[in-house]
Chains A and B, each alone.
Chain A
Amino acid sequence: AQSVTQPDIHITVSEGASLELRCNYSYGATPYLFWYVQSPGQGLQLLLKYFSGDTLVQGIKGFEAEFKRSQSSFNLRKPSVHWSDAAEYFCAVGGAATNAGKSTFGDGTTLTVKP
């Protein structure tokens, strides 16, 4: 069975500081990995996705993520956080034979940005 763990429930960073949100997954084959962002009271928006190839993927809003198969991780990073990045972030995993909607989501990490 596939699963996703986001070890950090809540992270606080200062504006302008770098950010790394952790994601560990469990999947029996090559996974499809996603990061989504959710603002309060809104739906989720796709930040980036990894299917194959280059293990460092670029996304929207200056985010990037690195796939590390040996560590079963797909951590999200941003060099300099902006106040508008405050939101909840979800990592999700699926596979080639998996319907996109049957991706498994982590419980989310809430990001607070200090001025």
Chain B
Amino acid sequence: DGGITQSPKYLFRKEGQNVTLSCEQNLNHDAMYWYRQDPGQGLRLIYYSQIVNDFQKGDIAEGYSVSREKKESFPLTVTSAQKNPTAFYLCASSTRAGVGSPLHFGNGTRLTVT
């Protein structure tokens, strides 16, 4: 079955360390996205990519970085510059980057930084 795979499901890091979250999709989708979810809040967009080798900042990009070297993969690095990195991170994809295509989500990675 096609879908989005996020790994690992749980991730623990010490403050000051960079950490990379994996996101792979086999849906042949062009667009991919990273969201952050905090308790009691909706989803906030970190970065998105509409095509390979191109990506744009979302609403809360500071302290994060991404790459899109392959269509299937969109890893997110949480850097030590991110002031409050503990959160639930969701990766998503869509068929077209334009008109209202719905999002397909992975099952998320819960990052805890102490």
Interface residues of A (CB under 8 A from B): 4, 9, 32, 34, 36, 41-46, 49, 51, 90, 94-108
Contact = CB atoms under 8 A, between A and B. Distances in A.
B102 A43 contact: no
- Chain A CB within 10 A, most for which of B6, B99, B103, B104: B103
Contacts of B94: 100-101
Given A41-B108, A44-B90, A100 B40 contact: no
Interface residues of B, number: 30
B84 interface: no
B106 A100 contact: no
B97 A44 contact: no
Nearest to A45: B105
Contacts of A103: 100, 103
B45 interface: yes
B41 A107 contact: yes
B111 interface: no
Interface in B30-44: 31-33, 40-43
B101 interface: yes
A107 B84 CA distance: 19
A49 B48 contact: no
Contacts of A4: 42
A99 B40 contact: no
B4 interface: yes
A41 B6 CA distance: 12
Nearest to B49: A101
Contacts of A98: 100
A102 B90 contact: no
Contacts of B6: 43
Nearest to A9: B40
